[in-house]
Amino acid sequence: MLHRLTITGLAGRLASGEVSATDALEACLAQVDRVDGEVKAFLSMDREDARRQAREADVELAAGRGGGTRPLLGVPIALKDVLCHRGQPVGCASRILEGYVSPYDATVVARLKAAGAVLFGRLNMDEFAMGSSTENSAYWTTLNPWDTARIPGGSSGGCAAAVAANEAFATIGSDTGGSIRQPAALCGCVGLKPTYGRVSRHGLVAFASSLDQIGPFTKTVGDAALVMEAISGHDPLDSTSLDEPVPRYREALGGASLKGVKLGVVKEFQLGGMDPEVDAAFRAAVRHLEGLGAAVREVSLPHSEHAAATYYIIAPAEASANLARFDGVRYGRRMEGVDAFELNSKTRGAGFGPEVKRRVILGTYVLSSGYYDAYYLRAQKVRALIRGDFERAFGEVDAIVTPTTPTPAFKVGEKASDPLQMYLSDIFTISCNLAGNCGMSVPCGFTRSPRLPVGMQLLGRPLGEAELFRIAHAYEQTTAWHREVAPLG
Ligand code: GLN
């Protein structure tokens, strides 16, 4: 049952010598062997390299070098296929990067190594992080450990499924428009999108650079705080990284009282079309937070109805520029052509899947002369209004609480042929990326039949992660949702 421990639980046993880093890794690998044929969270895994890291961690543990600056010493953690890990493949679940190996470590990877983590495995995702279900992966769809007829969410679906299936103690993903919080909610784990600039993006393959952030998937709020302490902080290699001190997030984890905390529920998020069981679980969670002493009031985000439209202009615009680098010359796969144009178009034609092509075309269109002002510039203005809404709301409350998603995990294939339906599954998560503040999803209940996890989203001020940890931890301490284990967990 070692694989079912939290990081905090494992760290205690590693420190006392009760278990070794090798034991912890082998427990994950055995669980992968048991369930990943069904869950399909991992694209690849370098077991030899992981075992070498675990042996090195065991030497360090024996020498008493855990704790302090090495809080993750010996803890197995896996990465979304969008993060560079030196000597390992990085493919963004795309054919265009087939065979490409990272020449360097992303800053988060370097920081995880410095904190002692044992890094293993590449996790499935929607191609270039474009999607909400992993169905856009060029390889296969990852399945939800709670019900394998259903998707795990996306784009970081492999990250969420691996944690829910207890195949890894934590995973690291990216969130451009909900890609950490949405899959965390649908798989019943904790997922945090940090404030824009809190975690370095150096070594993250860019999707939409003004929205992308890296963050953790964990089994508990406390574990998320632990991982965040390790990966946050200024990095001169990312010019958008904030030069602000990293709080000791674990110290923000207080008791169960939320006296004095002001929470907002969003007037505009009370939609028709919400799944009634998700809605009921969310309302019960809000009442629970009130019971812990929080004062709940309504706040207004009047421009949020335009968030999805704004996002689907800005994100594709930035993606079309970022993905121009995959030209058949510099990275990964290359198709032959008689000249540069043919080489380039054949490579991109064969290498990108349909959703990526749709986004590149959309992005190129909204940036083209004659349309730039009507679409891109206008979207930037709406983005400023959305940010203003949040600033006003955070003048009134400490955090905002919403459902993470309007429905529980949907069936494989249910929305795959309707991009608009798929885009709408991110309706509650997108505005946080446009505004740049932080957001977290925590388990807050289950639907009845089938039994599927429901997530509650907490949105905080820019650099308000500590506040989110406090609220989420109080909620977690007094509820048992996070202790439920998926049938494949
Ligand atoms: N589902 C959204 C999209 O398709 C968000 C993806 C993400 O956050 N990477 O763009």
Q: 407 is written with which tokens? A: 């429905």
Question: Dihedrals φ, ψ of 22, to 5°?
Answer: -65, -40
Q: How far apart are CA 334 and CA 328, in angstroms?
A: 5
Task: Report d(CA 18, CA 355) in Å as an integer.
Answer: 48
Residue 101 near residue 190, CB atoms below 8 Å: no
Mean of the per-residue pLDDT values of the chain:
96
136 within ligand 1 shell (Cβ under 6 A): no
Domains and CATH numbers, the chain: 2-256 (3.90.1300.10)
With a cut of 90, say whether residue 42 has pLDDT above it. Answer: yes
Task: Kindly state the tokens that stand for 181.
Answer: 């919080």
Residue 271, pLDDT > 80, answer no
Res 273 pLDDT > 80: no
441 classed as catalytic: no
177 lines ligand 1 (CB under 6 A): yes
Here the tokens at position 385 are: 């209004």
Q: Are 82 and 43 in contact (CB under 8 A)?
A: no
Distance (Å) from CA 477 to ligand 1 centroid? 31
Instruction: Please report, for residues 71, 114, 248, 284, 364, the alpha-carbon distance to residue 68 in angstroms, rounded to integers and kept in the order given.
Output: 6, 12, 12, 39, 48
pLDDT at residue 416 tops 90: no
Decide if 263 contacts 296 (C-beta within 8 A).
yes
Find out whether the beta carbon of 426 lies less than 6 Å from any atom of ligand 1: yes
Binning pLDDT at 50, 70 and 90, where does residue 209 land?
A: very high
Distance CA 81, CA 79 (A): 6
For residues 16 and 74, what is the distance between their CA atoms, to the nearest angstrom? 13
Q: Which of 123, 127, 132, 457 to mutate to test the pocket of ligand 1 (most atoms within 8 A of CB)?
A: 132
Q: What is the mean pLDDT of residues 78-92?
A: 98
pTM here is: 0.97
Please choose, from the candidates 228, 197, 227, 225, the residue with its C-alpha nearest in 3D space to the C-alpha of residue 213: 197
Please report which confidence band the pLDDT of residue 323 belongs to, taking 50, 70 and 90 as the band edges: very high
Q: Is 219 a catalytic residue?
A: no
- Let me know if 155 is a catalytic residue: yes
CA count, 13 A, side-chain hemisphere, 222: 16
DSSP 54: H
CA of 121 to the centre of ligand 1 (A): 22
Q: Tell me: the pLDDT tens digits for 107-120?
A: 999 999 999 999 99
DSSP string across 92-154: TT-GGGTT-B-SS--HHHHHHHHTT-EEEEEE--SGGG--SSSTT-SS----BTTBTTB---S
Is 129 touching ligand 1 by the criterion CB < 6 Å? yes
Q: Where are the alpha helices (DSSP H) in 17-116?
A: 21-39, 47-62, 107-114
Range 460-466 average pLDDT: 98
Position 66 scores a pLDDT of: 80
How many angstroms separate the CA atoms of 142 and 163, rounded? 13
Once rounded to an integer, what is the mean pLDDT over residues 309-338? 94
Catalytic residue among 80, 193, 219, 415: 80
